[in-house]
């Protein structure tokens, strides 16, 4: 396994793009078949060798903490009903990793949320898994791909994908030069560019491995796009001062802050589900035809 052992999951967003579902429920708890989105993210981290995870929340998101805690009443009921397999599955949720929580007390942006993890990170490299990005890969998890690239280059790594010309205006845009295969040197980046400022259709999507130097940059960083402290702005400075690598990772990414993407995730993950996939596929075939 790779050397990176700490992960930070920013999960403090309000989820306004998927209202009214998120009026009283965090978007990270939106169900994809039979698991909330954030469980897929935590499982990806654990399957990549991560041992300690900090989830950054805000007010009204204690349901996330409850999900990863023991539920003795449910466990007892399952044992009483002789549902041993489900009992072990439920119990395992609370044993996957050392999970910690801190609240982002003000909605100041992703950069500020990551800065809240400074004490947790200390002097170690860490992976950031964006709380509204579920990435499914049948092979090597996206996080592990990034962590292995970090071990090779000993520089911060951003997970990148190509997006459409329309989408790039709502994401970040990168200028890169090819190093090898799916690995690039990051030259420049901009958050939510106007059409005349687009650097390329490559964007940072959902995952990055950062070194503690990012906190020195974040602590004095002025607000950027949307009046928020943007992690992209800090990474731009790090790329130019220290150096940064872009890895075009393998895997399908679903934006759980987008209604259509949620539906895609449910369908595409659902048809492969070991319990209901076969019948769901049959239903979809009949429904479409």
pLDDT in tens, 141-174: 999 999 999 999 999 999 999 999 889 998 899 9
Q: Is the pTM of this model over 0.85?
A: yes
Provide the domain limits for residue 143.
6-288
Is the preceding peptide bond at 74 cis, omega within 30 degrees of 0? Answer: no
pLDDT at 2 over 80: no
At residue 61, the pLDDT reads: 82
pLDDT at 87 over 90: no
Output DSSP code: residue 106. Answer: S
As a whole number, mean pLDDT of residues 206-233 equals 90
Q: Is residue 29 part of a domain?
A: yes
First to last CA, the chain: 46
Domain count, the chain: 1
Looking at residue 11, which CATH number applies to its domain? Answer: 3.90.550.10
Q: Is residue 99 part of a domain?
A: yes
Q: Is residue 39 part of a domain?
A: yes
Average pLDDT, the chain: 90
Q: What angle do CA 206, 211, 217 make, to 5 degrees?
A: 90
At residue 1, the pLDDT reads: 65
Q: Which of 73-82, 98-107, 254-263 has the highest mean pLDDT?
A: 254-263
Residue 245 CB neighbours (<10 A): 23
Q: Is residue 1 part of a domain?
A: no
């Amino acid at each position: 396994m790779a050397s990176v052992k700490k992960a930070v999951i920013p999960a403090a967003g309000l989820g306004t793009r998927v209202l009214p579902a998120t009026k009283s429920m965090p978007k990270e708890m939106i169900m994809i078949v039979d698991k909330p989105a954030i469980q897929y993210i935590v499982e990806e981290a654990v399957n990549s060798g991560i041992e300690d995870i900090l989830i950054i929340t805000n007010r009204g998101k204690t349901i996330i903490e409850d999900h990863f805690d023991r539920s003795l009443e449910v466990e007892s009921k399952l044992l009483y009903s002789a549902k041993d397999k489900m009992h072990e599955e439920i119990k395992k949720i609370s044993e996957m990793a050392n999970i910690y929580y801190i609240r982002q007390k003000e909605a100041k942006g992703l950069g500020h949320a990551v800065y809240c993890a400074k004490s947790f990170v200390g002097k170690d490299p860490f992976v950031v898994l964006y709380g509204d990005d579920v990435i499914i890969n049948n092979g090597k998890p996206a996080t592990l791909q990034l962590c292995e690239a970090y071990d090779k280059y000993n520089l911060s790594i951003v997970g990148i994908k190509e997006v459409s010309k329309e989408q790039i205006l709502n994401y970040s845009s990168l200028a890169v030069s090819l190093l090898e295969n799916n690995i690039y040197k990051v030259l420049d980046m901009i958050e939510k560019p106007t059409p005349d400022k687009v650097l390329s259709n490559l964007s940072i999507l959902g995952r990055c491995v950062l070194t503690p130097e990012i906190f020195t940059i974040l602590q004095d960083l002025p607000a950027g796009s949307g009046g928020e402290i943007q992690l992209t702005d800090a990474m731009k400075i790090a790329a130019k001062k220290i150096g940064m690598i872009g890895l075009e990772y393998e895997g399908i990414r679903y934006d759980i802050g987008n209604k259509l993407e949620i539906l895609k995730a449910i369908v595409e993950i659902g048809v492969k589900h070991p319990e209901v996939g076969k019948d769901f596929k049959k239903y979809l075939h009949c429904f479409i035809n």
